[in-house]
Structure 1
Amino acid sequence: MIRDQYPRLHAPATSVAARTYELSELLVDVLGVTDVGAEFPETVTYHPTCHGLRMLRLGDRPLTLLRQVRGIQLVELGDAEECCGFGGTFALKNPDVSTAMLTDKCARVRDTGARVLAAADNSCLAHIGGGLNPRTIRAKRARVVDEVPDWEALRDTGSAIKADVQRRLPELLEQFEASVTAAGATVHWARDAAEACRIVVELTRATGADEVVKVKSMATQEIELNEALEAAGIAAYETDLAELIVQLGEDTPSHILVPAIHYNRAQIREIFERRMADAPPDLSDEPAALAEAARAHLRRRFLSARVAVSGANFAVADTGTLVVVESEGNGRMCLTLPETLISVVGVEKLLPTFTDLEVFLQLLPRSSTGERMNPYTSMWTGVTPGDGPQDVHVVLVDNGRSAVLADPVGRPALSCIRCSACLNVCPVYERAGGHAYGSVYPGPIGAILSPQLTGVADNASLPYASTLCGACYDVCPVKINIPEILVHLRQQAPHPPAERATMRLLSWVMRSPRRWTAALRLARAGAGPLGAYRQRRSGARTLRRLPWPASAWTRSRDLPLPAPQTFREWWGKQ
Structure 2
Amino acid sequence: MAPPTLPLNRRAEIALQDVPLQEALGRTMDHFVTARLKAFADLPHGEALRDHARRIRARTIAQLDRHLLTLERQATANGSQVHWARDAEEARKIVMQIVRENDVRRIVKSKSMLSEEIELNAVLERAGLEVLETDLGEYIVQLGHDHPSHIIAPVVHWRLEDVARLFHEHLGTPLDADIPDLVGAARQALRAGFLQADMGVSGANLAVAETGSIVLVTNEGNGRYVTTTPRIHVALVGIERLAPTWEDAGTLLQVLARSATGQPLSCYTSIITGPRRNPDEDGPEQVHIILVDNGRTRALAGEFAEILYCIRCGACLNVCPVYRNIGGHAYGSVYPGPVGIVVTPVLQGPQTWSELPQASSLCGACTEACPVRIDIPRMLLRLRAAEAEQGQSPAWLRQGIRLYAWAATHPRIFRLGGRLAALALKLVPGKKQGWVDRLPPPLNAWTDSRAFPPLAEKSFSSRREERDHA
2:427 and 2:98 mapped to 1: Cα distance? 75
Q: 2:256 aligns with which of 337, 350, 364?
A: 364
CA distance 1:224–1:392, shift in 2 (3 Å):
same
Q: 1:316, CA displacement in angstroms?
A: 1.1
User: What is the one-letter code of the residue matched to 2:255?
Assistant: L
User: Which residue of the partner structure matches residue 400 of structure 2?
Assistant: 502
CA distance 1:209–1:492, shift in 2 (3 Å):
same
CA distance 1:571–1:504, shift in 2 (3 Å):
closer
2:144 and 2:376 mapped to 1: Cα distance? 32
2:220 and 2:291 mapped to 1: Cα distance? 26
Secondary structure at 1:417 match in 2: coil
2:69 and 2:31 mapped to 1: Cα distance? 41
Indicate whether 1:446 and 2:336 are aligned: no
Q: 1:321 aligns with which of 213, 219, 224?
A: 213
CA distance 1:500–1:134, shift in 2 (3 Å):
closer
Q: 1:359, CA displacement in angstroms?
A: 0.4
Matches within 5 A, 1:104-119: none
> Does the CA contact (< 8 Å) of 2:345 and 2:352 recur in 1?
yes
Q: 1:264, CA displacement in angstroms?
A: 2.1
- TM-score w.r.t. the length of structure 1 is 0.71
Q: 1:140, CA displacement in angstroms?
A: 1.5
Secondary structure at 1:136 match in 2: helix
> Does the CA contact (< 8 Å) of 1:543 and 1:561 recur in 2?
no
Q: 1:153 aligns with which of 44, 48, 65?
A: 48
Q: 1:219, CA displacement in angstroms?
A: 0.5
CA distance 1:151–1:524, shift in 2 (3 Å):
closer
CA distance 1:255–1:535, shift in 2 (3 Å):
closer
Higher RCO (C-alpha under 8 Å, 6+ residues apart): 2
1:525 and 1:382 mapped to 2: Cα distance? 72
Q: 1:555, CA displacement in angstroms?
A: 3.1
CA distance 1:316–1:538, shift in 2 (3 Å):
closer
- TM-score w.r.t. the length of structure 2 is 0.86
Indicate whether 1:259 and 2:157 are aligned: no
Secondary structure at 1:518 match in 2: helix
User: Which residue of the partner structure matches residue 476 of structure 1?
Assistant: 370
User: What is the one-letter code of the residue matched to 2:416?
Assistant: L
Deviations 1:180-223 (A, max 9, x none): 11111111111111111111111012211212000101100111
Secondary structure at 1:362 match in 2: helix
Q: 1:421, CA displacement in angstroms?
A: 0.8
Segment drifting more, 393-402 vs 459-468? 459-468
Secondary structure at 2:291 match in 1: strand
Q: 1:431 aligns with which of 321, 325, 338?
A: 325
Matches within 5 A, 1:527-566: 530=424, 533-534=427-428, 544-547=438-441, 549-557=442-450, 565-566=458-459
1:468 and 1:231 mapped to 2: Cα distance? 41
Q: 1:149, CA displacement in angstroms?
A: 1.7
Gaps of 5+ in 1: 1-39, 44-114, 116-128
Gaps of 5+ in 2: 1-15
Q: 1:492 aligns with which of 380, 386, 401?
A: 386
User: Which residue of the partner structure matches residue 289 of structure 1?
Assistant: 181
User: What is the one-letter code of the residue matched to 1:146?
Assistant: A
CA distance 1:442–1:528, shift in 2 (3 Å):
closer
User: What is the one-letter code of the residue matched to 2:393?
Assistant: H
> Does the CA contact (< 8 Å) of 2:430 and 2:437 recur in 1?
no
Aligned identity (percent) is 43
> Does the CA contact (< 8 Å) of 2:435 and 2:451 recur in 1?
no
CA distance 1:147–1:541, shift in 2 (3 Å):
closer
CA distance 1:563–1:146, shift in 2 (3 Å):
closer
2:156 and 2:432 mapped to 1: Cα distance? 44
> Does the CA contact (< 8 Å) of 1:524 and 1:564 recur in 2?
no
Q: 1:310, CA displacement in angstroms?
A: 0.6
Deviations 1:233-273 (A, max 9, x none): 11210001111011001001111111112222222122123
Secondary structure at 1:545 match in 2: coil
Deviations 1:404-455 (A, max 9, x none): 11222x2111111111111111111111111111111111111111111111
Matches within 5 A, 1:140-289: 140-276=35-171, 279=172, 282=174, 284-289=176-181
CA distance 1:504–1:177, shift in 2 (3 Å):
same
> Does the CA contact (< 8 Å) of 2:430 and 2:438 recur in 1?
no
CA distance 1:533–1:156, shift in 2 (3 Å):
closer
> Does the CA contact (< 8 Å) of 2:108 and 2:193 recur in 1?
yes
> Does the CA contact (< 8 Å) of 2:436 and 2:447 recur in 1?
no
2:217 and 2:437 mapped to 1: Cα distance? 54
User: Which residue of the partner structure matches residue 458 of structure 1?
Assistant: 352
2:93 and 2:433 mapped to 1: Cα distance? 66
Q: 1:275, CA displacement in angstroms?
A: 2.6
Q: 1:351 aligns with which of 237, 243, 252?
A: 243
User: Which residue of the partner structure matches residue 330 of structure 1?
Assistant: 222
1:535 and 1:296 mapped to 2: Cα distance? 62
Q: 1:136 aligns with which of 10, 28, 31?
A: 31
User: What is the one-letter code of the residue matched to 1:149?
Assistant: P
Q: 1:498, CA displacement in angstroms?
A: 3.9
2:73 and 2:321 mapped to 1: Cα distance? 44
Q: 1:161, CA displacement in angstroms?
A: 1.2
Secondary structure at 1:395 match in 2: strand
Number of equivalences: 440
User: Which residue of the partner structure matches residue 568 of structure 1?
Assistant: 461
User: What is the one-letter code of the residue matched to 2:96?
Assistant: V
Q: 1:503, CA displacement in angstroms?
A: 2.0
User: What is the one-letter code of the residue matched to 2:181?
Assistant: A
What is the root-mean-square deviation in Å for CA atoms of aligned residues? Answer: 2.8
CA distance 1:373–1:550, shift in 2 (3 Å):
same
1:449 and 1:416 mapped to 2: Cα distance? 10
Secondary structure at 2:207 match in 1: strand
CA distance 1:391–1:271, shift in 2 (3 Å):
same
Q: 1:518, CA displacement in angstroms?
A: 1.2
Q: 1:347, CA displacement in angstroms?
A: 0.3
User: What is the one-letter code of the residue matched to 2:212?
Assistant: G
